[in-house]
A and B are shown apart, each in its own frame.
Chain A
Amino acid sequence: GAVVSQHPSWVICKSGTSVKIECRSLDFQATTMFWYRQFPKQSLMLMATSNEGSKATYEQGVEKDKFLINHASLTLSTLTVTSAHPEDSSFYICSARTSGAYNEQFFGPGTRLTVL
């Protein structure tokens, strides 16, 4: 089956530093990758949609200069949280899908970010 990995699985950083999270599709080519954020006991909220070779599309209210997304290849997308603050602490989840109208999204295992 399609596998999506994320690295790291958890990270602790100091306030003001930047953190990069990688999302990889291991056995398929992902034309589109999605980044979600999930706070404790809440649902997944879509942050941005990333298409290979083009700029990411951000959801309303998500700062593109703070959450930098790069989708340089069909198997890798990265999310960089710049100048992280404690309120950015959350569970970040990526998903990947191939082209097609109803293709399933395959989710990564998530990355737990804690900003001190």
Chain B
Amino acid sequence: GESVGLHLPTLSVQEGDNSIINCAYSNSASDYFIWYKQESGKGPQFIIDIRSNMDKRQGQRVTVLLNKTVKHLSLQIAATQPGDSAVYFCAESGTSYGKLTFGQGTILTVHP
């Protein structure tokens, strides 16, 4: 079936570096994408979202890029901090029903 996947399962960076987390999706009908951060033992926390009519959206220290041609989504975190260490999931929705399909997740580890 359709799925959302990630290129890299783990990413280790030094504090202050920029981080890039990637996600590939296969459902061409997807029109809404979200990035979540999940800390150990907690529920996912919304980071940023983007609709398919956009290719870039910026938040505080985070930027999401969407390339619909190659069905690729990325999350950029500027000046990564130890508190950013967590698992990051991309998720997509293809209908107004709101059902989300989650990617596999990337473990981000930030070293002081």
Contacts and interface: CB of A to CB of B under 8 A. Distances in A.
Interface stretch (B60-68, B71-79, B96-104): B96-104
Interface residues of A, number: 26
Contact of B100 (A4, A6, A105): A105
B44 to A, nearest CB: 5
B77 to A, nearest CB: 20
A32 B98 contact: yes
A53 B49 CA distance: 29
A4 B43 CA distance: 10
Interface in B25-49: 32, 34, 36, 41-46, 49
Interface string A30-62: 001010000000111110010000000000000
B41 A110 contact: yes
Nearest to B43: A107
Given A44-B44, A108-B43, A34 B100 contact: yes
A34 B99 contact: yes
B56 interface: no
